[in-house]
Structure 1
Amino acid sequence: MVAVQSYDNPNLYNENDLEILEYISKYLALAISRKQAADALRVSEEKYRSLVCAVPDGIVITDLEENIIFINPAACKILGYTSEELTNMNFTTIIHQDDIELVRNQTKRRIKLERSQYHFRIINKSGQLRKIYISAVPIIDESGSIVNTMGIFRDVTDIEIAEREKQDLRDKLARARRMESLGMLAGGVAHDLNNILGPLVAYPELIRMKLPPDSPILDKIAKIEISAQRAADVVQDLLTMARRGRYEMSPLYLNETINTYLESSEFSALRQQNPKVIVDVSFTDANPVVLGSSSHLSKMVMNLTINAFDAMPHGGKFTLRTQVGYIDRLADGYDNIEAGMYAILTVSDTGIGINPKDIKRIFEPFYSKKQLGRSGSGLGLSIVYGVVKDHNGYIDVQSEINSGSCFSVYLPILAKIPGVENVSAIDIHGTESILVVDDTVEQRELAQVILSSLGYKVRTAANGREGIAALKACPVDLVVLDMIMDGDFDGLDTYREMIKIRPGQKAIITSGYAETDRVKAAEKLGVGRYIRKPYTLQKLGRAIRELLNQTS
């Protein structure tokens, strides 16, 4: 409303003046309305501009040729450029070349008025490759035609890396649980098999001693002994795979340990069976020293070598290298590694390669794509993994189908130089008294026959409590204790009670399956030796004689 009033002349304005005023007021009202609309629009623009600038996701508007028309601060931060640098820039110039066609195809969908969500990669201003997730929509004018496209996007690189790391941890945990379950199964089976194999391994040696040198059955006895020992070796492989074996660790030269296998008859036979495989071996001049078990490291090398040869049935090149280097991460990420100096063993082949979907499971027992029965027991790479881990080492695998595989083993380096072990001859006979405690009848009988043949006076007990009663009734010079016995009273429990009766009692622990912490606890209490079943006359006799020869 517009009003004009005179306080001193009531007749100042006439009808014409009122008409003019009414005419002007219409335009004034229109101007005021436009001003209010402009103010409201400015407020709205400021509100939405603040919103666009505040959102953490990037917002980009491009024309149909991918030229950037508008970009918000979050998008500038993600892409690494300023708003001035990005405006009028063609968006495809920062997209990874392998993804440009993908983005163009998505833009064609927008021209058809379709929305979409997809991933693509960009290279930001600093040269980093980043992965982007975008939700894109068409911008339509009043006539319904598309004029521009708008995308709301975010950098998901770190999220995907974190998710991959979580998945890797889940996979490693699942592998560890599978290996633990298989280890428990293998350990239990190994204990029973070693008890069964005990007489088969030891009796041939005793029978040979009773036969004349020209006996026609000596050859048969030798074959029984060899077969039994091979079976015992397979059982030991189970324990190694389960990481429940017993290692005698000492400083040793890695090059020499590997070379011992390469000069063995087993490797010579492998080469003869595969004449088309070229062998290339190179040792580092550094000759690194590691803390390890020579026999187990040799078995690790053997299994890696056999695996490489098996991958080249029609010939190829086998390469073995040693070197020394500082390592802080593994190439393929199969395992995590603690940064430091390592002795590095690489074994590679030019064979059939490993399928990427199988590579994470190749160290699991019996997980093999080889023809059934063609090679080994199915534990080869499981044994390798067990040995590496028991030496506080790491293993990495790289492979490509039809190009070959490369296994890299990393073992911590020692500064100490290994000495020469002097194993002197010893007379294993004796006349002392020995108590054998074992819950298996065959093992008690075997130990009694072996020790009696060496001149010892032997008594036996069927369990730990019976053994304690026997020791109370009559002292003995040495006790041979089975570690794992039925019930809740094992070798450690038995020895604890024995030393209460006779402090300093000399004892040897034997077992086909020994819980390492229980064995170590027994050794701390005073047990002098540990012998793995199945044992031979020489092994048991030497251990007993050495322990009895020690002064208290």
Structure 2
Amino acid sequence: MDAAAPPTYRQRLFRKLFGIPFDLPGRYHRYFIASNFMFVFALVGHSAFIPIFWVLGAAHVFFYNLLCVILDAFCLFLNHRRQHALAFGLWVTEVAFHSSLCALAYGWDSGFQYYILSLTVFVFIAPWKQAINILSLCLLMGTYLALNIHFQAASPSHSLSPFLENSADIINIAVNFVVLGYMAYQYSRASEKAQQALEESEKTLKTTLAASPVGIAQVKDRKSQWTNETMISMIGYDSGEPVDPDILRFFPDIAKVDHVRQMAYRIGQSSIDLPDTHLVRKDGTHLPCHIKIRPLTPKDASQGAIVAVMDISELKAAEKEKQELQAKIQRSEKMEAIGTLAGGVAHDLNNILSGVMSYPELLLMDLPQDSSLRTPLETIKKSGEKAAAIVKDLLTLARRGVPTRQVADLNAVVTEYLGSPEHAELARYHPGVRFASVLDPHLSTVTGAVAQLGKTVMNLVSNAAESISEGGTVTIETRNCILNSAHTGYELIEPGAYTVLSVSDTGQGMATKDMERIFEPFFTKKVMGRSGTGLGLAVVWGTAKDNGGYVDVISHPGKGARFDLYLPSSRQIAERDREDEAVEKFMGNGDHALVVDDVAEQRIVATGMLKKLGYRTDAVASGEEAVAWMANNRTDLLILDMIMEPGIDGLETYRQILKTHPKQRAVIASGYSETQRVVQALKLGAACYLKKPYTLLEMAKTVKKALR
């Protein structure tokens, strides 16, 4: 990468005549230099004699030299056009013919015959096949011999007989040609072997460079003199396609080029490293790369430099993927930490809300219809139900709830929501928003909590409507999807068969920085207090994880957003929910129930409800007390709280009671419980579980089911 001064005309002429082209085959190297030198020497000599013979008035010699000048120039032209064999053949013929004519014209002693003898050496570097070289040598020897015999006959010697004299001349000439030919042949063979070794070495080097995964080029005067196949491929060219030699076409950073030039040719640094840069490919795209530059001769720009280019696009992609994965892990850890905090808060709130929800219901059952206290109590009850819904969202977020799983039809869930009062209220609040649904009639079922799924649909649709409150379309779509390989979206989605719920809007979309936080609790770009609790999308995330699914988000600023909920498909038939029934249908028949709960308010609420339903009750404050009570008593049904600190929990309590009462019936009451502990209790024989806070109807139905 240098900017040396352009070569002068004299330098260009010298390179043209005596510089070996880089792509010239090795067998022509010696010939190319020797022949060009001989052609130039002959051209200059013949040109110098033209004016002399013109002045002397020797017309025939003048025209002959003029012809020789034309032939010399034509030989140079043929050499330039790579017609080496033809050029050298013409020149040898010209010299032999010229020498013969001059010898005949000026006599044998004029010395022209030695031109023919000198050609013996040059024949062995001619670009011909060996058989042609030997034939040419024989022809030259025959010409020399004929001339010699001719002049011997013209000037006979009387010291020897004609036969002996001719024989001596023939032997002398033959020895001269054989010795010179042998010496030229041996030199030629030795040169050929050295040249073959050099060519093999060059071939090995070129093959190595061509196979190298590193792009390599020789750069001189800001022009690439040579590039390997890897470099050609890197900059976007096909093999054999002509490549623009100007390096600024692929490395347009002129400031960096000047810096490299200064480091290499002014300071004399032997190696320059550009670890994180890029090349511009033929199609204009950028190729991340690591470039190393080594000047052939530091401080000498005329020699150029070797440039090695390493493609680091895969490394860059791996680093980006690693950063994205780390961000996802951090986001997951953050969600887990927030969920743990939310779960702890929900546990305490559930115990408080049991009284807020249950006592008004018990009091309303005893009040006359025209009582002035009914309205305040109903208000308290509704407020408690709203608070319980928020707690349920917190438990979903914490993934610590105990959802009722069943086979569900996602189309039915969507249809039920679109016909609900909640959706009617949303549509009334956003009159400019149009709601559309595209439901796959052959949609596979899913296994999950129907209540959670309904809440998820409501949250996604509400979020979409609020993002386009000025007007637009919200589309709810369901479809089946089979992933044969992992899909990397907002999170990594494993291969498998999925039922997908998509909710999209035509709003303004989201910025990338906002997308990273949208599932965090209480994160919102909307006005808090006007758009729900701030838990909507957090609940969506929790529901996906509770049901073994995934969430993908596709959004671009100004192009709307789409949320895809991937839930594992099921082949089972969806279960149908029963219509709500009256409490009176589930009244008790005087059976006994033992309430086990470490919170006094919970024991009071539970026993009060059970008595109202017609059951006899007792209550204890811990698992240890329950085991002791059962040692001397019996009950028809245990209602066990799962977590009772600091003693044994509901699972361990039930396990110990089963040792003395193997067929003891039980209900697990839980608002905050590790799901695995609940599952283990159900496997031991517990009939069902009751979610806190519970209503009177939920208590009645659960107890009735357990006692069947």
Measured against aligned partners, the alpha-carbon deviations of 1:312-349 in whole angstroms (never above 9, x if no partner) come to: 23222212222223334687621222223322221111
2:395 paired with 1:236? no
What's 1:26 paired with? none
1:342 to 495, 498, 503: 498
2:632 paired with 1:473? yes
C-alpha separation between the residues in 2 aligned to 1:384 and 1:309?
16
Measured against aligned partners, the alpha-carbon deviations of 1:199-240 in whole angstroms (never above 9, x if no partner) come to: 111111111111001112212111111110000010000011
3-state DSSP of counterpart to 2:504: strand
Q: Return 321-330 or 243-252, whichever deviates more.
A: 321-330
2:327 paired with 1:171? yes
C-alpha separation between the residues in 2 aligned to 1:253 and 1:306?
21
Measured against aligned partners, the alpha-carbon deviations of 1:362-410 in whole angstroms (never above 9, x if no partner) come to: 1122232323323111111111011112222221111112332111122
2:399 paired with 1:252? no
Letter in 2 for 1:392: G
Q: Which runs of 5+ in 1 are unaligned?
A: 1-34
C-alpha separation between the residues in 2 aligned to 1:143 and 1:498?
93
What's 1:495 paired with? 654
2:620 paired with 1:461? yes
What's 1:288 paired with? 444
What's 1:16 paired with? none
Q: Return 47-56 or 471-480, whichever deviates more.
A: 47-56
3-state DSSP of counterpart to 2:526: coil
What's 1:222 paired with? 378
C-alpha separation between the residues in 2 aligned to 1:247 and 1:272?
31
Listed as ranges, the matches of 1:293-442 within 5 Å are 293-328=449-484, 333-422=489-578, 426-442=585-601
Computing the radius of gyration from Cα coordinates, the structure with the larger value is 2
3-state DSSP of counterpart to 1:191: helix
Contact 1:195 1:443 in 2 (8 A): yes
CA displacement at 1:107 relative to structure 2: 4.5
Q: Return 418-427 or 201-210, whichever deviates more.
A: 418-427
Letter in 2 for 1:524: K
Measured against aligned partners, the alpha-carbon deviations of 1:431-450 in whole angstroms (never above 9, x if no partner) come to: 01111111001111111111
3-state DSSP of counterpart to 1:134: strand
CA 1:64–1:323 in structure 2 vs 1: closer, same or farther (change >3 Å)? farther
CA 1:257–1:518 in structure 2 vs 1: closer, same or farther (change >3 Å)? same
CA displacement at 1:131 relative to structure 2: 3.4
2:690 paired with 1:531? yes
1:90 to 244, 247, 254: 244
3-state DSSP of counterpart to 1:504: coil
What's 2:216 paired with? 59
CA 1:143–1:185 in structure 2 vs 1: closer, same or farther (change >3 Å)? closer
Contact 1:437 1:481 in 2 (8 A): yes
CA 1:231–1:254 in structure 2 vs 1: closer, same or farther (change >3 Å)? same
C-alpha separation between the residues in 2 aligned to 1:371 and 1:487?
42
3-state DSSP of counterpart to 2:240: helix
3-state DSSP of counterpart to 1:278: strand
C-alpha separation between the residues in 2 aligned to 1:128 and 1:413?
45
Letter in 1 for 2:625: E
C-alpha separation between the residues in 2 aligned to 1:417 and 1:123?
56
Contact 2:293 2:305 in 1 (8 A): yes
By relative contact order (CA 8 Å, sep 6+), the higher-ranking structure is 1
Listed as ranges, the matches of 1:41-120 within 5 Å are 53=209, 57-62=214-219, 68-72=224-228, 75=231, 85=240, 89-90=243-244, 102=252, 106-107=256-257, 116=274, 118-120=276-278
3-state DSSP of counterpart to 2:396: helix
Query: Higher strand fraction: Structure 1 or Structure 2?
Result: 1
TM-score (norm 2): 0.64
What's 1:187 paired with? 343
Contact 2:507 2:559 in 1 (8 A): yes
Query: Higher helix fraction: Structure 1 or Structure 2?
Result: 2
Q: Which runs of 5+ in 2 are unaligned?
A: 1-190, 265-271
CA displacement at 1:489 relative to structure 2: 0.9
Contact 2:622 2:647 in 1 (8 A): no
Measured against aligned partners, the alpha-carbon deviations of 1:502-527 in whole angstroms (never above 9, x if no partner) come to: 11111111122011111111111111
C-alpha separation between the residues in 2 aligned to 1:268 and 1:329?
40
Letter in 2 for 1:408: D
C-alpha separation between the residues in 1 aligned to 2:251 and 2:427?
51
TM-score (norm 1): 0.82
Measured against aligned partners, the alpha-carbon deviations of 1:274-321 in whole angstroms (never above 9, x if no partner) come to: 111122222223233222222111111111111111212322221222
CA displacement at 1:162 relative to structure 2: 2.2
3-state DSSP of counterpart to 2:513: coil
Q: Return 490-499 or 49-58, whichever deviates more.
A: 49-58
C-alpha separation between the residues in 1 aligned to 2:281 and 2:250?
12
CA 1:419–1:380 in structure 2 vs 1: closer, same or farther (change >3 Å)? closer
CA displacement at 1:451 relative to structure 2: 1.0
3-state DSSP of counterpart to 1:270: helix
Letter in 1 for 2:277: H
C-alpha separation between the residues in 2 aligned to 1:497 and 1:71?
82
Count of residue correspondences: 502
C-alpha separation between the residues in 1 aligned to 2:245 and 2:512?
35
Listed as ranges, the matches of 1:13-52 within 5 Å are none
C-alpha separation between the residues in 2 aligned to 1:377 and 1:424?
28
C-alpha separation between the residues in 2 aligned to 1:514 and 1:50?
71
What's 1:522 paired with? 681
